[in-house]
Each structure stands twice: as C-alpha cells, then as structure tokens.
Amino acid sequence: MKKLILSISFVLLFAFGSRAQNQADVFIPIGKYIQMGDCDKLSAWFASNLELDILGNVNNCSKTQATQIIKDFFVTYTPKSFAIIHKSGRAPMKYAIGNLSAGGESFRVTLFVKIQEKGGNQIQQLRIERE
C-alpha cells in the first residue's frame, strides 16, 4: 500500500510539475527561433493582431504583416546569438527580455506572451531596440 501511494504521488507530481514547467518554458522555443532567424516558425507564435516596435517603428499589425516585418529585419540583421536575460509575469501574460546579436549590432528584445491554459500561447507584443 505504501508503495502504491508513493507511486501515485510520483505520477501526480510528474504530471503537474511538467505542465507547470512547460508553461514556464514558453520562451525557449521562441528564443530559439529568434536566434535562428526563422521568421516562419517564430510567426506561428504571433497573435492574429499584435504590436511590433522595430527600431522605433511602431505598428499594430496582422500576423501576416508582422511576419513580413520580422522577415525584413532578419534579412537586414542576420541573427548570430540570442539569450533571454529576464523573465517575469504570470498567466495570462508573461514577458521576457533578451539580448540579440545580429548584423554586427546588439539589440534588446522584449516579448509579451499571452499564456493560455489549453495551449495556443501567443506573442502579443514584440519590441526590438538597439542597445
């Protein structure tokens, strides 16, 4: 009986712990796509409408428009490295700040992501500014 209770406790801890971990790690794939300069995979995380602030040019745009803007940015500034330096917030909105080295320059990237319990986490705002 004791082994059964211990086994059930382990299973519950693993199930709920991994779910919480997955939500906490929403920025891992996003960061990977930024570092790779993969605007198609990155844009899969975009909300249907989002705010982009790219080097001071602010746009409230559709997912399609945002994809093109990010694609143009990655063509001009080919990413070399990206690292998340700060994460905060709690559901339903989390944010992260990262350092991007691209095109021989350094940028600060800020991401605001809407966290949804049933998946479908979405980038609501993306800001890229020179450091």
Q: What is the pLDDT of residue 1?
A: 52
What are the two backbone dihedrals, phi and then psi, of residue 57, each rounded to the nearest 5 degrees?
A: -95, 100
Under a CB-based contact definition with an 8 Å cutoff, are residues 67 and 38 in contact? Answer: no
The residue ranges of every structural domain in the chain are 27-130
User: What are the tens digits of pLDDT across the range 8-46?
Assistant: 443 333 334 433 444 448 999 999 999 999 999 999 999
**Mean per-residue pLDDT of the chain:** 86
Q: What is the pLDDT of residue 10?
A: 39
Neighbouring-strand partners of residue 112: 95, 125
CATH domain 27-130 topology? Nuclear Transport Factor 2; Chain: A, (3.10.450)
| pTM score of the predicted model | 0.80
Distance between first and last Cα of the chain: 60
Q: Is the pLDDT of residue 3 over 70?
A: no
Residue 118 — very low, low, confident or very high, per pLDDT cuts 50/70/90?
confident
How is residue 27 written in tokens?
A: 């920025």
Locate tokens 């800001």: which residue? 127
Instruction: State whether residue 50 is helix, strand or coil.
Output: strand
Q: What is the pLDDT of residue 34?
A: 98
Q: What is the pLDDT of residue 18?
A: 37
Residue 92 — very low, low, confident or very high, per pLDDT cuts 50/70/90?
very high
Total residues belonging to the chain: 131
